[in-house]
A and B are shown apart, each in its own frame.
Chain A
C-alpha cells in the first residue's frame, strides 16, 4: 500500500466513524427525547398498542390483498392505455392532428384532477346512469378512474422517453428502409421504454398507494379496514399496521427502481 492509498483508507475510516456517530446520536435523541414529551403515553396508547396490532394484523393483511388485486389488474391496462396516449400525442401525420389534440387534452385533464375526485366522479357518477349489476360495481369504475389518471402520467413519461431517442436513430431506420410504423416499433420504442423504466417504477409505487383511495367508494380494502377498526376500538394503531404493510411492499419496490436507475446511469456513462 503506497502512501496515497493509506491516506485514502484513513479518510474512508474517518468518514465512516463520523457517519456512525452522527447516526447513533440522532437515533438516541429520538429514542430518548420523544418519550419525554408530555403527551407520549397518550400517543403511545393511541398509535402503538401492541395488543391491537396483533389483533388486527391478520384482517388487515387480508384487506391488503384487495389492494394487490386492484393493482394487479390495473397495471396492464394503465401501461396499454398510457402507450396508446403517448403514441397519439406523438403522431406526425397531419391527418392525425385531432388525435394529438385529444392526447394533449386527455393528459392535461387527468393529470390536473386529483385522483380522489376522479374516483368519486367516475365511481359514483357512471354507475348512477343506471347500469345493472354487476356492471355498476365500485371495483370496475374505481379501476377505470385509476387507469384514466395513471395512464395520463405514464403517457407523459413514455413520451419523454420517445423524445429522448436521438434523431439519428430515426434517420438510420429510414435509411434501412423501415416504415414509420416499424421504425417506432423496432427502433424507437424498445430504447425509449428501457430508458423510462425507473420513472415508471416510481409511478407504480405511487399507484400501489393510491389504490387505497378506492375505499372512498365502498370497497373494504386496507385503508377502510383500518378506519373501521379505528372507529370500533377508538385507536389509531390499525393505521400504523396499514403503514407497515404498505412499507413492506413499497420499500423493496422503490429500492428496485433506484437499482434500475443506477444501472441505467452506469451503463450510459
Chain B
C-alpha cells in the first residue's frame, strides 16, 4: 500500500514536473501537446540512423527526443515530418515546429528564419577517393577538382579558404557528389566531418577522409542550429532546453554515442 502511494505520489510529482516544463511551450506548437519535428528526406547517417527518426537513433534524432523530453513532451508526442531545404526557408506557414537537418547558422539565413543556439559544431572535412597519392597540404588541395553540395556552407569554405585553381562542380545532394567522385569528375569533396566519415566508410568505395579543418580556425565555423519560423515563440523554450542539456552533460553524451568516430582525423594546416 505504501509502495502504491509512493509511486502515485511520484507519478503526481512527475506529471506536475512535466506540466511545469511544458508550460513554456504551451500553446506555441502547431498541434497542442504535440511537437512536430522535421528532418531531411532522406535523413542521413549518422544524424538519423536508417532514415527512421522515430527510433531516436542517430545524433539529431537523439537530440530531438532529448529536447522534446526537456520541454515536457513525451516520446509519443513527437511527430516527425520531412522537408527539403527550400521548404524550410520559403515564406508562409510551415508544417513543423522545429527543423533539424544540419542547418548551419548564418547571419543571412537568420534574417529569414530563427535558429536555436547551436547543438553541434561541425568541422569541415575533405573526402577523397583512393587518396594515397594526395597529401593534405594546402598546395595539393588547390590543385584538386572540387565537388560540393549546393545547399551547404561548404562552397564558401572551398572558395575562400582553399581557393582551388579549377572552379568547383556543385551538386544537389551527397549521393550525387559521391557519384561524381566515382565517375572521376571530381577529386575531392568537402562535407561536415560526420557526414564525410560516413560516406568514406559506407557509401564511397575506396573513400578516405583526408583531413579536417579545425572548426575554430575556420572563418565561418559550421554551427548547427534547430531551424524555426521567424519570430517563433518556441525559440526560447528550445534554447532553454538546449542549455539544460548542455549543462547536465546529456548533449555531450549523445555526441559521444553517435559521433565518437569524429575524433582522430588529422587537421589540415
Interface residues of A (CB under 8 A from B): 39, 42-43, 45-47, 124, 127-128, 130-133, 136-138, 215-220, 224, 227-228, 230-236
The residue from A132, A217, A236 contacting B90, defined by CB atoms under 8 A apart? A236
Q: Which residue of B lies closest to A215 (CB)?
A: B170
Q: Is the CB of B108 within 8 A of A219?
A: no
Which A residues are CB-close (under 8 A) to B180?
124, 138, 217-218
Interface residues of B (CB under 8 A from A): 85-86, 89-92, 106, 108-109, 111-113, 147, 150-153, 155-156, 167-172, 176, 179-180, 182-186
Q: How far is the CA of A219 from the CA of B151 in the complex (A)?
A: 15
- Interface class of chain B by DSSP: mixed
User: How distant is B230 from chain A, measured CB to nearest CB, in Å?
Assistant: 8
Q: Is the CB of B184 within 8 A of A228?
A: no
The residue from A46, A137, A228, A236 contacting B185, defined by CB atoms under 8 A apart? A137
The residue from A218, A233, A234 contacting B171, defined by CB atoms under 8 A apart? A218
Q: How far is the CA of A181 from the CA of B112 in the complex (A)?
A: 65
Which B residues are CB-close (under 8 A) to A133?
184
Q: Is the CB of B92 within 8 A of A218?
A: no
Q: How far is the CA of A138 from the CA of B171 in the complex (A)?
A: 12
Q: Is the CB of B185 within 8 A of A233?
A: no
Which B residues are CB-close (under 8 A) to A45?
91, 112
Q: Is the CB of B152 within 8 A of A231?
A: yes
Q: Is the CB of A224 within 8 A of B150?
A: yes
27 pairs across A/B with beta carbons < 8 Å?
A42-B92, A45-B91, A45-B112, A46-B90, A46-B91, A47-B91, A124-B179, A127-B184, A127-B185, A128-B179, A137-B185, A138-B185, A216-B172, A217-B180, A218-B147, A220-B167, A227-B151, A227-B170, A230-B89, A231-B85, A232-B108, A232-B153, A232-B156, A233-B108, A234-B106, A234-B111, A235-B108
User: How distant is A50 from chain B, measured CB to nearest CB, in Å?
Assistant: 15
Q: Is the CB of B91 within 8 A of A43?
A: yes
Which B residues are CB-close (under 8 A) to A227?
150-151, 170
